[in-house]
Chain A
Amino acid sequence: DTAVSQTPKYLVTQMGNDKSIKCEQNLGHDTMYWYKQDSKKFLKIMFSYNNKELIINETVPNRFSPKSPDKAHLNLHINSLELGDSAVYFCASSLGHRSNQPQHFGDGTRLSIL
């Protein structure tokens, strides 16, 4: 059984379009995250939700809007896509907000902007 699943795995679209990436976890975790991995493989936190509430919102353009309908889901919607948005986006989850709990990652969504 997949613990943290993201869909789609690949997303190719044109500049200016709006797209969404979905994330679901079946681990019973209540904290979820979105990370961006750039072309140099650098991973950076974008957002974090705990029990559907936003707790981390790093310096990310407001074209990116996370939505958490329940604690098992954290979706990422991106408006007006730009070339610089091309990256791999990872969803992750952890048990509670204790920092010693490891984060479990999804397989990533590779977003390519034409």
Chain B
Amino acid sequence: AQTVTQSQPEMSVQEAETVTLSCTYDTSESDYYLFWYKQPPSRQMILVIRQEAYKQQNATENRFSVNFQKAAKSFSLKISDSQLGDAAMYFCAYTGAGSYQLTFGKGTKLSVIP
């Protein structure tokens, strides 16, 4: 079974600084997809960024980028120029190719200090 591990239950970052959230996963599949979701206090689940395992290039969405290390099964999220609105729970998620199912990590609570 696939597992997703987020080893940092809580992180904090100073406004305008950069922070990296860690995620590792365990799978025997070669083709899969990885996602980062953000859950602010409003409770919504918002897709931040996604990565296809067959792509070597790291995904980037504005201030959000990932460091995808397939051999190490690592998928970290970097947030640059942190803003107060980035404060939220961040969930890393995995799905195998052909699978309907998202497996989530336990989340990292990010606080942004003004």
A27 to B: closest C-beta gap in Å: 13
B96 to A: closest C-beta gap in Å: 6
Report the Cα distance A103→B35, complex, angstroms: 10
Q: Which residue of B lies closest to A107 (CB)?
A: B44
- B contact residues vs A (CB 8 Å cutoff): 32-33, 35, 37, 39, 42-47, 50, 52, 89, 91, 95-104, 106-107
Report the Cα distance A42→B35, complex, angstroms: 16
On chain B, the residues within 8 Å of A48 by CB distance are 100-101
Other than the known A41-B107, A99-B99, what 4 A-B pairs have Cβ atoms closer than 8 Å?
A33-B100, A43-B104, A99-B100, A103-B102
On chain A, the residues within 8 Å of B101 by CB distance are 45, 48, 56
Q: Which residue of A lies closest to B99 (CB)?
A: A99
